[in-house]
């Protein structure tokens, strides 16, 4: 899911990150309500070819749907001629959120996407993916959530989740 949009990169910022929860899933309608509205976003993304950080800005418009059991994000990065849509839906019976992506250039819904839940004010979402012929784990984390700002960042593990390399940070500020 995130490979085409993010161009996976590793080698910098290895860290211990919040673990995927071992507790029973606790996803509930309204978990993504904080995201509704207009946002300006400062991106910092690791360039895979150089290991240097690329910084750029973007914007997003987000809506809560299905009485809080869904969230739609339209992400726009005008300077990069890039746009896409994030779709987050609660699997009500399983109490788990699914997070999928559509790149505007190809219009293809990337599935199965990331799955996860929010605990203690932080959303942790993971997926098993492939980088070429190497299995990897991808983790997206929503944290530092306030009424006017929050952060999303992505990390990749190439050792089954023992260590994680952060490769994309997005600092969101409400407009």
Going from N- to C-terminal start, the domains of the chain cover 2-174
* Cβ contacts of 45-52, under 8 Å, gap ≥ 24: 45/6, 45/7, 45/9, 45/167, 45/168, 45/169, 46/9, 46/10, 46/11, 46/12, 46/13, 46/166, 46/167, 46/168, 47/9, 48/7, 48/8, 48/9, 48/10, 51/9, 51/11, 51/12
Calculate mean pLDDT across residues 33-47: 98
pLDDT of 10 reads: 37
Q: Which residue has the higher pLDDT, 48 or 37?
A: 37
- Res 22: pLDDT: 64
Regarding the domain delimited by 2-174, which CATH topology (the fold level of the hierarchy) does it fall under?
A: Lipocalin (2.40.128)
pLDDT at 153 over 50: yes
């Amino acid at each position: 899911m995130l490979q085409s949009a993010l161009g996976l990169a590793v080698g910098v910022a290895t860290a211990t990150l919040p673990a995927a929860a071992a507790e029973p899933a606790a996803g509930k309608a309204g978990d993504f309500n904080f995201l509704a509205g207009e946002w300006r976003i400062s991106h910092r993304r690791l360039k895979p070819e150089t290991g240097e950080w690329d910084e750029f800005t973007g914007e997003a418009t987000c809506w809560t749907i299905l009485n809080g059991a869904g969230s739609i994000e339209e992400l726009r990065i005008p300077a990069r001629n890039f746009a896409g849509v994030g779709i987050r839906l609660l699997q009500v019976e399983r109490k788990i959120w699914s997070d999928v992506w559509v790149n505007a250039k190809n219009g293809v819904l990337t599935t199965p996407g990331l799955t996860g839940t929010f605990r203690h004010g932080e959303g942790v979402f993971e997926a098993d993916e492939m980088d070429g012929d190497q299995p990897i784990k991808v983790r997206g984390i929503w944290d530092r959530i306030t009424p006017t700002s929050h952060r999303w960042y992505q990390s990749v593990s190439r050792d089954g989740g023992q260590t994680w390399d952060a490769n994309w940070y997005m600092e969101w500020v409400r407009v």
